[in-house]
Amino acid sequence: MSGIEDIIKKFDDFEISMKAGLPRVDSRLVIDMLHRMKRDESPMYTIEIFLNEKPNEEKIKAIITEGLGVMPAFYDHGTHIVVAHRFNLKMLEYLSNSLDVEKIRGTFTGAGRGASIGPVFERDDATDY
């Protein structure tokens, strides 16, 4: 197997692992986060969570504030949640497993110095996961 074939095989294996471990998380977010976590174990992101249906906002607030220690902002009748916080993959897994998630996307906002940029994505934006 050549070096290129090995890279392609390992990348295919990596994509399969991402889809199995974080099936509702945008793969671009996971890749970006992995790169940044080499320098900072919990980089600052604005994470956007799209839910399948309108939630009980008090229950969602409790899940997020207890699990992450931050207060979420709600948009689109409560089905689009935005959280600005220092994140790692375990936190994405927690959110994905604790809520009725359709998809999770995110934007890097700085090395802990950035404030929330608010929502960036729309529910119907193209995704590659």
| Token pair for 84 | 């600005």
What residue spans of 70-116 are helical by DSSP H? 89-98
DSSP structural state of residue 79: T
**Which positions ≥6 away from 123 have C-beta within 8 Å?**
50, 76, 79, 80, 102
61, pLDDT greater than 60 = yes
Q: Domain limits of the chain?
A: 23-110
**What is the tens place of the pLDDT at every residue in 27-56?**
999 999 999 999 999 999 999 999 998 889
Provide the pLDDT for residue 122.
Answer: 72
How does residue 17 score in pLDDT terms, banded at 50, 70 and 90?
Answer: very high
What is the CATH number that goes with domain 23-110? 3.30.70
Provide the pLDDT for residue 67.
Answer: 87
**What is the tens place of the pLDDT at every residue in 80-129?**
999 999 999 999 999 999 889 999 999 998 765 555 666 767 767 655 54
Residues paired with residue 49 on neighbouring β-strands, in sequence order: 81, 104
Name the more confident of 29 and 77. Answer: 29
